[in-house]
Amino acid sequence: METSTITIDVQLDHEKVPQLITWKASDSSTDMAQKAKAMMISFWDGADKSALRIDLWTKEMMVDEMADFFYQTIMTMADTYNRATQHAELTLDMKNFAKDFYKKFRETQLDTNKLV
């Protein structure tokens, strides 16, 4: 059996806030670590029947980037859920939620920009 390794390095400032997130995978075509402004990792604990999460983002992550990140993450989660379950209606619900979330975010940003 083959093993693939993903390495994540997080550099912290003196207050333990992420300054830099880099990652690389053993099966990647590049030897260079890739930079990231944010990450979300989930593991399923089958014994406890609970999700374990690691959510980190750097100070450089802007609010609009976070909204994009969440929108894209929810959309890809919906695709993954569909591949695993073939529950098309629930997948559509998730995607509609993601679209509604992003639309509301954009409207909030427009309203905020009008006040400036």
pLDDT in 10s for each residue of the chain, 116 residues: 999 999 999 999 999 999 999 999 998 888 899 999 999 999 999 999 999 999 999 999 999 999 999 999 999 999 999 999 999 999 999 999 999 999 999 999 887 766 55
pTM for the predicted model, two decimal places? 0.87
Which pLDDT does position 114 carry in this prediction?
65
Quick: pLDDT tens for 48-70: 999 999 999 999 999 999 999 99
Q: Which residue ranges make up each domain of the chain? A: 1-60, 62-110
DSSP state letters, the chain: -----EEEEEEE-TTS-EEEEEEEETT-S--SPEEESEEEEEEEETTTTEEEEEEEE-TT--HHHHHHHHHHHHHHHHHHHHHHH--HHHHHHHHHHHHHHHHHHHHHHHHHHHH-
Percent of the chain with pLDDT over 70: 97
